[in-house]
Amino acid sequence: MAEHAPTVVITADETMMSRYRGGMFLGFATCSPRGILPDWLFFQAFAPPVPRKNGRAVYADCGLRMVEASLLADGFTEDEVAVVHPRDLKRMVGEETRIVAVGGHDPLGINPPTSTFVDLARTGPPYNRVKFLELVRNPALKNVKTVVGGKGAWQVANPGTMDRLGIDYVHLGEGEVSIPRMFRAILRGDDLPRIVTGEDTPVEKIPDLRRPTTHGLTEISRGCGRGCRFCTPGMQKIRHKPIEQITRDIVTNVRGGNSIALFHSEDALRYGTHRIEAEPAKVMRLFSSVAATEGVTAIGLSHIALATAYHHPDLVEQVSDLFSTLPDQTYHGAQTGIETGSARLMRRYMKGKSAPSPPEMWPEIVVQSLGMLSDHDWALACTLIVGLPGETEDDVLRTLELVDDLTGMRGLLIVPMNFVSMGGSGLALEESFTVERMTPSHWMLLGRCLEIDVATARMLKSTLIEGGPLLRALTNFAMERLIAGAERYIAPMKRGEPPGDYGPETGSYLNPTL
């Protein structure tokens, strides 16, 4: 136990407190179900703990760092606030500790990637749920107020779940303004509602980072504005941080040992604009400024929109050329959404996704933009949504045709995800889609995507792994086991059939037993 314990301890489950062997895309492995690999091999290969110093995490999720920065900006001292790996809770939580704040992207493992992987594999519950439940039941939390927040906090935001898990409060939404106010009230002993919703944070109230983030992730924008009904950020108003503040955050990360600047936004190519069209001069001003920052050796983007790339090919070329001048830039990585090949579903649920072009042009936008990005050495993790409400067989076949049109493009991962009714989205009251409702066309789509993904994973895996020869060999072995396991399923799926050993058990790991 710490001699002088912090008043507020900020943490997250083990699947969120890792650098994932240096590979951003490897972090998606923590959405996978238990039982495919032994636990020890899984965590050694994909999610070893972040380094710690004096009980404090050297690197942490950007959301946790924002909570830390907001508390410090509000007047809490460095001694009063600590970001801690869950393995260090017993050491760091002491008599002076009053609040343990737990961040979570997917605490119960029911967001689209996790629920899809678990529903398909059926080998065990998801790692993110296992580790979150392990965390909130840690004896170190017994005599403190436990507050759960983050993107996935909606999953535990009801009194029955909170009582079963020993959670005192849940915070929903943005927290830079509301969390310091909430924590002050808890420390005073004020009466508070158990579920608190924070207000959107004005840009000028978003504080600078105080310590480095995982992968050097640095927020540049919030919100999207395209209005996709299945997506929470898509419903939010877009806001941009000023270049000077972004650069300060990058410098904080560089000083902490992150030479890669990873920009976080819903569409980095629309930085600086509040319109649907990009403003290339503003984008290039930011990117050039960061590329010129001492210590930055590569730049990555968390997300881009295919419609922005399609409508601004010159911007894609400029960005790609700039990135190629950086010494450690092996490829240009980002995540993006294909979602569907159906213009009907596009018009119904995401008509702003193709803007300023109409939804009917979406297949052309996808093929042309991904082809252009592939030609410029981009590696893209692309999502599909399977089972949107009202989806028909024709909708699935149109998506399958679109995926077939992407055959041969380098650097694509295409990840089909079952539709999940998520709190905060415009489809929160709709029924989620599960594997039991999959048709032969769904299986064919999944098999075609898996075939593309296996080829790309083999091509990229050597660029995703950091560490010495032994650790790289261990992670490579684990990745090969996963790839080989997935490869066995391709042939039957492409015939429209589930894998031969696919069991009859239904939903046993999708509904968490709390």
Please report the pLDDT score of residue 266 as a whole number.
95
- Tell me how far apart the alpha carbons of residues 48 and 57 are, in angstroms, rounded to a whole number: 13
> pLDDT tens digits for 289-309?
999 999 999 999 999 999 999
* pLDDT over 90 (residue 457): no
- Tell me how far apart the alpha carbons of residues 309 and 353 are, in angstroms, rounded to a whole number: 12
- CATH homologous superfamily of domain 8-197? Cobalamin-binding domain (3.40.50.280)
Work out the percent of the chain whose per-residue pLDDT is above 70.
Answer: 96
Please report the pLDDT score of residue 506 as a whole number.
46
Q: Count the helices and strands in the chain (H runs, E runs).
A: 17, 16
- Region 453-473 average pLDDT: 79
> pLDDT tens digits for 413-432?
999 999 998 876 778 779 99
CA distances from residue 37 to 42, 326, 454 in whole angstroms, order as listed = 6, 36, 18
User: Where do the structural domains in the chain lie, given as residue ranges?
Assistant: 8-197, 215-433
- CATH architecture under which domain 215-433 falls: Alpha-Beta Horseshoe (3.80)
Of residues 19 and 22, more confidence is placed in 19
> pLDDT tens digits for 22-81?
877 788 889 999 998 999 999 999 999 999 999 999 999 999 999 999 999 999 999 999
Cis peptide before 49 (omega within 30 of 0): no
- Which parts of 292-332 fold into alpha helices (H)? 306-311, 313-324
Work out the percent of the chain whose per-residue pLDDT is above 90.
Answer: 79
Helix, strand, coil percentages (3-state) for the chain, rounded to 5, are: 45, 15, 40
> pLDDT tens digits for 479-508?
888 888 888 889 999 999 987 666 545 456
* pLDDT over 80 (residue 511): no
pTM above 0.75, yes or no: yes
The token duo for 219 is 């927020």
* pLDDT over 90 (residue 235): no
- Sheet containing strand 8-12, edge to edge, reads 81-83, 8-12, 99-103, 145-149, 169-172, 195-197
> pLDDT tens digits for 339-352?
999 999 999 999 99
